A and B are shown apart, each in its own frame.
Chain A
Amino acid sequence: MSLLQVKDLVVEFPHRRGTLRALDQISFDIAPGEILGVVGESGAGKSLTGAAIIGLLEPPGRIASGEILLEGQRIDQLPFDAMRHIRGRKIGAIFQDPLTSLNPLYTVGRQLTETICAHLPVTEAEARRRAIGLLQDTGIPAAEQRIDHFPHQFSGGMRQRVVIALALAAEPKLIVADEPTTALDVSIQAQIIQLLQRVCKERGAAVMLITHDMGVIAETCDRVAVLYAGRVAEIGPVDEVIHQPAHPYTAGLMASIPDMDSDRERLNQIDGAMPRLNAIPPGCAYNPRCEQRFGRCQQERPELMPAGATRAACWLHAATCLEEAR
């Protein structure tokens, strides 16, 4: 059974000039222990998906329809108290900027023990032991001393390790990681990603890794979902999506990554830009920029359909669909 199921999630922002649909029927699953990458341009809706899952959508944003199921139970409509027991305990979260994620006035240890004691029935002393263990596990040297240090006494990479420790403190089954390495030096990024991968595999926790960096996705994830204009364009195993993309947008993304070996003069790009939320074209959201579009693309919005080893929301694969049904 899937750990997390998102079904036809719609997130809207009521505005005085009308309602904006930021997420339009997003659906995907995450299996236990799996690492799912969620990739897309800025504004595609990646962070919003993560926020919706942990129930921290900023008002006036709200979930208009759809379901989010954790281990089979619906969590999108829970009241605050019930949801807060899920946050941290079942689903952990990591945000982008480690500098601002930690309260500067409290020691790292205090923030750790507080989280542990909020969810697990342990004593303070036991919580502190576990906190030290977590810090050691995430690669912080001299953990017994540094547990009483303040956040500003750690460097950027170290802080993100603390953040990861905090996210794992209550032993959740799923971690939502929203751009965990974007704010770090390139040299540190690899370390942090590897750390995340290791500690999650060790604990059997699944990860929803939100990022715009395809390189990270390629290295780390089992499956990947490509988001475009608030919709899922393609979803499937990482190798297939990267090497045999079924959706023209994914193909364009892959082609625009510069290749160190080839000798090019101009970089590939996809012409045009992702449409704004209040100007999404009818039919397939990508069709104005797509070189392979045809009549149907501008009229009907495609659902996710099987396309080789992946699933893509593209009418090009409708034929395949029909063929396989025959």
Chain B
Amino acid sequence: MIAFVLRRLIQSVIVMIAVAFISFLLFQYVGDPVSFLLGQDATPEEVREMRAALGLDQPFFVQFWYFLGNAVQGDFGMSLRQAAKVSGLIGERFPATLELALVAAFLALVIGIPMGVYTALRRGTFMSQVFMAISLLGVSLPTFLIGILLILVFAVGLGWFPSFGRGDTVQLGWWSTGLLTLDGWHHIVLPAVTLAIFQLTLIMRLVRAEMLEVLRTDYIKFARARGLSNRAIHFGHALKNTLVPVMTITGLQLGGLIAFAIITESVFQWPGMGLLFIQAVTFADIPVMAAYLCLVALIFVVINLVVDLLYFVVDPRLRVGKAGGH
């Protein structure tokens, strides 16, 4: 098992280096920071000086090394659009995105899993078909449209919820949270629901498909043949066997919430990393893009690792080796 963990760690590091490399390439070849900083009329002399100052005349891999060193410390230089350090910009927006993602993840799990179980156990019933229809809509409606519709109905039409911003936040050290104020909760409802719907749909379909597969297995058939009650079969056996593979896939999907937040933050003007990223893409602000990429890659890699380890904990086949006997 130690070998497994080590292997995964090494893989993760390799992935991170690859991502850092791509970011580095972005810095090098896309857009020219020198002309940006100096303007179009710089003399060759000034250009050469600037390049030396920025370290751009060093060999390729030396530059990459410097880049890596800086990146590990979180230093990605200055934003090309706003006169601020990239790390600072991202740092102040990270809590907003994380809170949004967590609330949305919670919603998606708490609603999606029971719905999935229900539609698997009660196939063909009216409620079941309603849920399946809703899930189909959830997959066919783009997230931004859901956000717009929610704003139309609940903010403009009914006036129940605000349609942009984060509301009142409380500063806890470096972290600013909107979850400690009623206004903050008021503001997070619509964006969180928007973000959650797509994931909810996927989770529900996944749980349903997996559970239907499980209900077809021989061990469930044998459990029925032993005269166990429906409750024991469905919730004792089938549910556990369903949730094990589902849990790992879901973990990975929820990591994607961080990225999906980009869309939701745009629609609701939620001051998070996603909005920052979109603005960076629109204005070709490479440092911000590169930093965002590295951060998101890190989050993914960590989630991947945690999910893999979780599999170990939950599935006894991986934990304990085969014993003998015939």
Contact = CB atoms under 8 A, between A and B. Distances in A.
Interface string A52-78: 001010000000000000000000000
Given A88-B225, A118-B228, A118-B232, 18 more contacts: A54-B225, A84-B229, A86-B227, A89-B227, A93-B222, A95-B221, A102-B222, A103-B223, A103-B237, A103-B241, A105-B315, A114-B232, A115-B227, A140-B325, A150-B317, A153-B320, A156-B326, A163-B222
Nearest to B218: A100
The B interface, classified by DSSP as helix, strand, loop or mixed, is helix
Interface of A: 54, 56, 80, 84-89, 92-93, 95, 97, 100-106, 114-115, 118-119, 140-141, 146, 149-150, 152-158, 163, 166-167, 169-170, 188
30 contacts: A80-B230, A84-B230, A86-B227, A87-B225, A87-B227, A88-B226, A95-B221, A100-B217, A102-B219, A103-B237, A103-B241, A104-B317, A105-B240, A105-B244, A106-B240, A115-B226, A118-B226, A141-B325, A146-B325, A150-B316, A150-B320, A153-B320, A153-B321, A154-B325, A156-B326, A158-B325, A158-B326, A166-B222, A166-B226, A170-B226
Contacts of B7: none
A25 to B, nearest CB: 25
B324 interface: yes
Given A87-B226, A158-B326, A166-B226, A114 B236 contact: yes
Given A56-B221, A97-B218, A163-B222, A84 B320 contact: no
A104 B316 contact: yes
Nearest to A103: B219
A101 B317 contact: no
Interface string B242-262: 001000000000000000000
Contacts of A170: 226-227
B323 interface: yes
B322 A153 contact: yes
Contacts of B244: 105
B324 A155 contact: yes
B81 interface: no
Given A105-B315, A154-B325, A188-B326, A95 B218 contact: yes
A187 to B, nearest CB: 9
A157 B219 CA distance: 17
Contacts of A156: 326
A146 to B, nearest CB: 8
A78 B70 CA distance: 73
B122 interface: no
B51 interface: no
B323 A153 contact: yes
A268 to B, nearest CB: 36
Contacts of A155: 324-326
Nearest to B228: A118
Contacts of A87: 224-227
A114 B240 CA distance: 15
The 3 closest A-B CB pairs, nearest first, are: A88-B227, A87-B227, A93-B225
A188 B326 CA distance: 8
Interface centre among B221, B227, B315 (most CB of A within 10 A): B227
A97 B321 CA distance: 21
